């Protein structure tokens, strides 16, 4: 058996856990938990290859969140899911995505047949906390009695949003933020302007230019009623996450400045100005506000009113 786990930079604790389980032939439902962009998805693909179930093989099954516009169209689900394959290191974040019960039922249908002799099947469920309640309950039945020689691996950056019964039926494998040296191995210049310790997030923000696009909004908050209304109407027509996530990073940088956590970024002037005029409590409130509204995007909340409220309340 070829070990592909070292294809993933860092995460030595997770690698040790997985290798020990393989050596003891004791692999069971796994749940990779940790921050976004630190290698959970990559480790899932590396484990699949190690078990001789590489992506696109008949023994590999991938489930991932899809936008609400796709719904139960199986061909569309399949095409969209391919964007999560390892050939695509960066994934554009949609405002509203979820894993549907239809996806879990399709998986169950594929798992009815026994695997070939002396082979395993590998099921990788990405961002499992995005399952609808119906999908989660459907999967739970399968996790309770997994099909023979089938390894389930789930990933989540928000495990608290998973059903406790699903968490209890998985072995938790923790993933951590990456060090500066580890990030340098993934990113050419190794610069972490956002102090996030996540190579995936750094690459995503660089490619999209999202932080540069919202720095003007950051400087103008709190906004007047008219400015908030104008900006809310503008961002309602775009991916709202392209506003919320960059703002969340910027306010986190302000908090680091207030707490005197050392770090230098190319946004130091804007961060210093905000930190000088906003109290620590208000910065913390801003971070909570943005986090709460990112979660609200998964519901049917009125996007325009939500944006208007955020832009008025940010300090």
pLDDT single digits (tens) 69-115: 776 567 777 777 878 888 776 666 666 788 889 899 988 888 887 66
Burial per residue of 138-160, b for 16 or more beta-carbon CB atoms within 10 angstroms, e otherwise: bbbebbeebbebbbbbbbbbebe
CATH topology of domain 209-313: Zinc Finger, Delta Prime; domain 3 (1.20.272)
Residue 145, CA atoms < 13 Å, CB-side half-sphere = 2
**CATH architecture for segment(s) 5-176:** 3-Layer(aba) Sandwich (3.40)
Cα 90 vs. chain centroid, distance in angstroms? 11
pLDDT of residue 212: 79
pLDDT of residue 72: 59
Query: Please, are residues 51 and 57 in contact by the beta-carbon 8 Å criterion?
Result: no
pLDDT tens digit sequence for 138-185: 999 889 888 888 899 999 988 998 999 999 999 999 998 887 777 777
pLDDT tens digit sequence for 182-211: 777 777 666 666 666 677 767 776 766 777
pLDDT of residue 29: 92
Q: How confident is the model at residue 25 (pLDDT cuts 50, 70, 90)?
A: confident
Q: What is the dihedral of CA 185, 190, 194, 200, to 10 degrees?
A: -30
Predicted TM-score (pTM) above 0.95: no
Return residue ranges of the chain for CATH 1.20.272: 209-313
């Amino acid at each position: 058996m070829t070990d592909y786990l070292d294809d993933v930079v860092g995460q030595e604790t997770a690698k040790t856990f997985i290798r020990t389980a393989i050596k003891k032939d004791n692999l069971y439902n796994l749940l990779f938990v940790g921050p976004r962009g630190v290698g959970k998805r990559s480790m899932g693909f590396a484990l699949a290859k190690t078990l001789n179930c590489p992506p696109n093989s008949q023994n590999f099954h991938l489930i991932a969140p899809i936008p609400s516009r796709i719904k139960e169209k199986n061909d569309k689900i399949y095409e969209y899911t391919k964007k999560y394959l390892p050939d695509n290191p960066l994934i554009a974040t949609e405002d509203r995505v979820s894993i549907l019960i239809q996806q879990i039922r399709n998986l169950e249908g594929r798992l009815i047949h026994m695997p070939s002799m002396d082979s395993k099947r590998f099921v990788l469920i990405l961002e499992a906390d995005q399952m609808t309640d119906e999908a989660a309950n459907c999967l739970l039945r399968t996790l309770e009695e997994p099909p023979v020689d089938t390894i389930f691996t789930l990933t989540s950056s928000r495990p608290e949003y998973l059903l406790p019964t699903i968490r209890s039926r998985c072995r938790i494998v923790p993933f951590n933020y990456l060090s500066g040296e580890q990030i340098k191995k993934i990113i050419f210049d190794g610069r972490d302007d956002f102090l996030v310790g996540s190579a995936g997030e750094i690459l995503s923000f660089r490619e999209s230019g999202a932080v540069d696009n919202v720095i003007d909004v950051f400087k103008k908050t709190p906004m007047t009623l008219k400015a908030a209304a104008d900006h809310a109407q503008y961002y309602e027509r775009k991916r709202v996450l392209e506003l919320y996530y960059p703002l969340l990073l910027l306010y986190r940088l302000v908090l680091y400045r207030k707490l005197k956590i050392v770090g230098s970024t190319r946004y130091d002037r804007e961060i210093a100005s905000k930190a000088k005029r906003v109290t620590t409590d208000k910065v913390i409130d801003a971070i909570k506000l943005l986090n709460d509204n990112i979660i609200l995007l998964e519901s049917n909340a009125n996007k325009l009113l939500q944006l208007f409220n955020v832009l008025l309340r940010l300090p």
